[in-house]
A and B are shown apart, each in its own frame.
Chain A
């Protein structure tokens, strides 16, 4: 059952990712990426991480993709539709990508750490409570640093996108 759901979500996410890379129109790419993120959040549900699935939908589909669509709306994307790929020989990049994929797959099959088919014994209990306790107790400093980074990004984005006056 879980295997069937995993194969379904994985297949759809790979197809939509390919659509993202191959689509001519950036709007189609954005919609394909949105569908891909929804599939990935379904995979997070399969992995017993419902909180992450909800965060994924809120942040990626709700915020980041809407930001992308707003920018696509603001700027004229028609001129960039004609040529999809970089001009000239893309052979080195393709070779690099194939090498990367083959290398990672070989390493995954080589090592026996990945052959685990069942999760190790779970502690049980309230998962989200434990998660948030760990996040706000052991990882409080990284959390605060992340909030400062978000604030800096907010200010930086406003300054960069503002029209120059005078």
Chain B
């Protein structure tokens, strides 16, 4: 059998890669995709713990995470389309409309 910490380590590695994408990339689309990767690495943790401690709540929380992710992506891409229409930029550092 695969030890539990292998799954946790995979979740850690994917989380760090996703966080690198969020912090370092310049393209808003890639930042949003890296956010998906972050949420998915958390799902691996939920399901791994749920499996190894024989608890359904891990899977139930993963289902909720997936539902909230779908809502988040829909709103984020709607904002992105409106942003491109109004400012025609895709760079994270160009979006400073809310800066004081």
Q: Which residues of B from 59 to 73 have beta carbons under 8 Å from A?
A: 59-60, 62-64, 66-73
Q: Is the CB of B13 within 8 A of A93?
A: no
B26: A residues at CB distance < 8 A: 80, 83-87
Q: Is the CB of B25 within 8 A of A86?
A: yes
Beyond A52-B63, A161-B82, whether A17 also contacts B17 by CB under 8 A is yes
Residue of B nearest to A47 (CB): B51
A121: B residues at CB distance < 8 A: 54
Q: Is the CB of B27 within 8 A of A26?
A: yes
A84: B residues at CB distance < 8 A: 25-27
Q: Is the CB of B52 within 8 A of A153?
A: no
Residue from the list A43, A52, A115, A159 in contact with B62, Cβ < 8 A: A52
B interface bracket (residues with beta carbon within 8 Å of A): 35 or more
Interface secondary structure of B, over-half rule:
helix
Interface secondary structure of A, over-half rule:
helix
Cα separation A105 to B64 with both chains bound (whole Å)? 26
Distance to closest chain B CB from A92 (angstroms)? 9
Can you sample 18 A-B contacts with CB below 8 Å? A6-B2, A13-B10, A14-B13, A20-B21, A21-B21, A26-B27, A26-B30, A30-B33, A43-B44, A55-B66, A93-B20, A93-B24, A101-B12, A119-B1, A121-B54, A135-B60, A146-B67, A157-B74
- Chain B residues proximal to chain A, CB less than 8 Å: 1-10, 12-21, 23-27, 29-30, 32-34, 36-37, 40, 43-44, 47-48, 50-54, 56-57, 59-60, 62-64, 66-75, 77-82, 84-85, 90-93
- Chain A residues proximal to chain B, CB less than 8 Å: 2-3, 6, 10, 13-14, 17-18, 20-21, 23, 26, 29-30, 33, 36-37, 40, 43-44, 46-49, 51-52, 55-56, 59-60, 63-64, 67-68, 71-72, 74-75, 77, 79-80, 83-87, 90, 93-94, 96-97, 100-101, 104-105, 108-109, 114-123, 130-131, 134-135, 139, 142, 146, 149-150, 152-154, 156-161, 163
